[in-house]
Amino acid sequence: MRILVEDIMTRTPWCCTPETNLATVAELMWVHDCGALPVVAQGHVLGMITDRDVAIALGTRNVPAREVTAVEAATAPVVYCRAGDDIHAALHLLGEAKVRRLPVVDDNDELVGMIGINDLILAARPQDGRAAELDDEQVIEVMRQICAHENTQVMAVGV
């Protein structure tokens, strides 16, 4: 049986607007136990903001979190997939883009869900006894792509 993104994605994910301040973004991530939020305006994903984006944005500015907006710290353009895509296509996109999560959009490019590497890991080892369509090694290989450092030079900071 072919598994589609819509079969394993998180529906109605938490998100923020471009104007949401980073204090609120961090609170949303904490309360909802997520490390990334799509930045959405009128249903369309404008960017993605991760907990790392928040940390770097605040660590490199001398301003309170409530004075920095999500759009100022978010990554754009966004790599996304569609609900009807095969999970192998989503896995390929994750590795190619070196990201752990993808927004899922419909035919109008409006946000309908999120899929992450964790969803694919769970799909590779189904709990219900059915055969896995996705091989563990495929997921591990994509994790290697995501985690591989492009620049291996070590930089001394403050020395």
CATH number at residue 28: 3.10.580.10
Average pLDDT over residues 91-116: 94
* Structure confidence by residue, pLDDT tens digits, 116-138: 988 888 888 655 555 567 777 88
Phi/psi region, residue 33 (left: phi>0; alpha: psi -120 to 50; beta: rest), is left
**What are the pLDDT digits (tens) for 25-71?**
999 999 999 999 999 999 999 999 999 999 999 999 999 999 999 99
Query: What is the domain extent for residue 39?
Result: 5-147
Burial of 31 (0-12, 13-18, 19+ CB in 10 A): exposed
Residue 154 in any domain: the answer is no
Q: Domain count of the chain?
A: 1
Tell if the pTM clears 0.95, that is, is over it.
no
The per-residue pLDDT for 159 is 46
Looking at the domain assignment, is residue 139 inside a domain? yes
